[in-house]
Amino acid sequence: MEEKKLGLGSVVSVSVGLVVATSCLVSLGQGAGTVGVIFIVAMIVACLLNMTTIASLSELNALMPNTTGGLAQYTLAALGPFPTLISMVGGYLFCNVLSCGVEASIFAYALGEVIPLPIPTITYTVIVTVVLLIANLNGVDMFAKVQDAVTYLMIASMVILGIIGALGMGTGEKVNQPMNMTMDLPTIVSMSAVAFWLFIGAEYVIPVSKEVRNAKRNVPLGMFLGLGIICLVQSILVLGFHNYTPWTDLANSAAPHMLYGENLLGNAGRLWMVFVAALALISSQNSGINGLSSICQGMAKMNMMPQCFAKTNKKNVPYIGVWFVSILILIFAFLSNDSSDAISFFILVASVFWMVSYIFAHIDVLILRKRLPKAPRSFKVPLGPLFPVIGILGTAYMILNISTDPAERNAIWLITIVVFLILGIYSVFWIKFKMKMPVFKSVPVPKVLAMENNMYYLIRKRRGICK
């Protein structure tokens, strides 16, 4: 029997890896600049809300362990093929490659400002993407080594920069300003929608749970620990912001993390923040390429994506998915390159799509509990339906308050509706003519689990059920 490769430390690093990204540093600075240190309260609210999602996904993973498609398989068992396709392709795959592409653009823009070489900034994005493409094609071992090293270096740097600022030990001039810009409770609560983006993506460890030692314990524990670490580290940074960067400057800056680094330690701090941003990019993009390719593989096994995505190389890596995701990341990076407005808008769009998939996760839990009340689960969300319901209502609130600008908010909602409408039409045709299944009929859990075996599709092909 092959030994599992990933321990609890790797699970934590994967969970943290996608969450802590350059856009998070931007959102953190702008959020703190709007309300002050009290933004930590909004962060805690958003963190707890995301923990409800992690809890729901952990229960689903406990019910259907060792699945490569993750949320796709859970939703297929709970709601059927149609909600699965529109939630996964739109609510998960689309938004993830979009956000990874935007992350790459943010980093390339910042690096171009610090190192003004006579080359297009997109060059930096291409270099990083190619390096991570090669790393992921070399399998989970390489993935784990890259992820662990990068994530822990990034967290250590953020902690040090935050502590230096919080204790007033920087070489720059300290700022005399109030702790908080407002104490208005509705305003503080509304900022939790901004803070929500700071914690999205911890569940990315689930697609690789088959590679985790003692997965029943380490997968949920690693995700919860990851969110807790993120909240603590970013809270320390907010305290540092208060001492060295005016709130109004943070709120209006397109790169608040760079501004803080420069105010804290001069040019050395600025360069250090570029280093942190580089680690954040590598961490998030590495997690994205690995996790999304595994999801594509799982969906291909369910005949919900072309079968080529199920193919693996000699190192058991779904290489088609790795190439596919990497190319899409580059495309979205090109679309948002050198445009701060495009970067901000795309991040908000991606956030809404991601939140939709989280709502589906909570719904899956409620349905499968009712349908399979006695099925064995190594983890179960406590207090009955309370936390999934809180997760649904809280996430819906975040979607409704995704932007303080009404025009921007309406544009985001319009894009969301249009994309899901297009996906809905595509899904109906794919399910009826390719999968040859009822559009809305849920699939029994044993059958979904059987889809992990290649023999399932061999038998269906021989019977002429699918091609």
- Mean pLDDT value across residues 392-416: 86
For 135-190, write each residue's pLDDT tens digit: 888 875 555 566 667 777 778 888 999 999 999 999 989 999 999 888 877 777 77
- pLDDT of residue 454 exceeding 80, the answer is no
The answer to the question of residue 2 being in a domain is: no
- Mean pLDDT value across residues 44-54: 92
- Apex 22 CA angle, 227 and 335, nearest 5: 125
The answer to the question of residue 280 being in a domain is: yes
- pLDDT of residue 397 exceeding 60, the answer is yes
Mean pLDDT score across all residues of the chain: 83
For 97-107, write each residue's pLDDT tens digit: 887 887 788 77
Contact 56, 361 (CB under 8 A): yes
Q: What is the CATH number of the domain that holds 315?
A: 1.20.1740.10
- Mean pLDDT value across residues 126-138: 87
The answer to the question of residue 344 being in a domain is: yes
- pLDDT of residue 466 exceeding 70, the answer is no
Range of the domain at 218: 8-461
- pLDDT of residue 52 exceeding 90, the answer is yes
pTM: 0.83
Band of pLDDT at residue 44, cut at 50, 70 and 90:
very high
349 or 428: which leads in pLDDT: 428
The total of other beta-carbon atoms located within 10 Å of residue 325's CB is 27
The answer to the question of residue 466 being in a domain is: no
125 or 414: which leads in pLDDT: 414
Give the C-alpha separation, 216 to 219, whole Å: 6
Instruction: Give the model's pLDDT for residue 367.
Output: 95
The answer to the question of residue 36 being in a domain is: yes
Instruction: Give the model's pLDDT for residue 379.
Output: 85
Instruction: Give the model's pLDDT for residue 140.
Output: 55
Instruction: Give the model's pLDDT for residue 457.
Output: 63
- Mean pLDDT value across residues 341-349: 74
Contact 231, 47 (CB under 8 A): yes
Contact 128, 140 (CB under 8 A): no
Q: Which two tokens stand for residue 115?
A: 């190192």
The answer to the question of residue 332 being in a domain is: yes
The answer to the question of residue 467 being in a domain is: no
The share of the chain scoring above pLDDT 90, in percent, equals: 23
For 190-248, write each residue's pLDDT tens digit: 788 778 888 887 777 776 777 788 888 888 888 899 899 999 999 999 999 999 999 98
Instruction: Give the model's pLDDT for residue 1.
Output: 42
Q: Tell me the CA distances in angstroms from 465 to 80, 222, 435, 458, one per residue in order.
A: 18, 40, 8, 10
Q: Which two tokens stand for residue 173?
A: 């001039």
Contact 332, 130 (CB under 8 A): no
The answer to the question of residue 335 being in a domain is: yes
Band of pLDDT at residue 320, cut at 50, 70 and 90:
very high
- Mean pLDDT value across residues 6-17: 78
Instruction: Give the model's pLDDT for residue 388.
Output: 96
Which range of 148-162, 272-286, 314-328 scores highest in mean pLDDT? It is 314-328
- pLDDT of residue 116 exceeding 50, the answer is yes
Number of domains the chain contains: 1
Q: Which residues of 217-228 are buried (b: 16+ CB within 10 A; e: fewer)?
A: ebbbbbbbbbbe
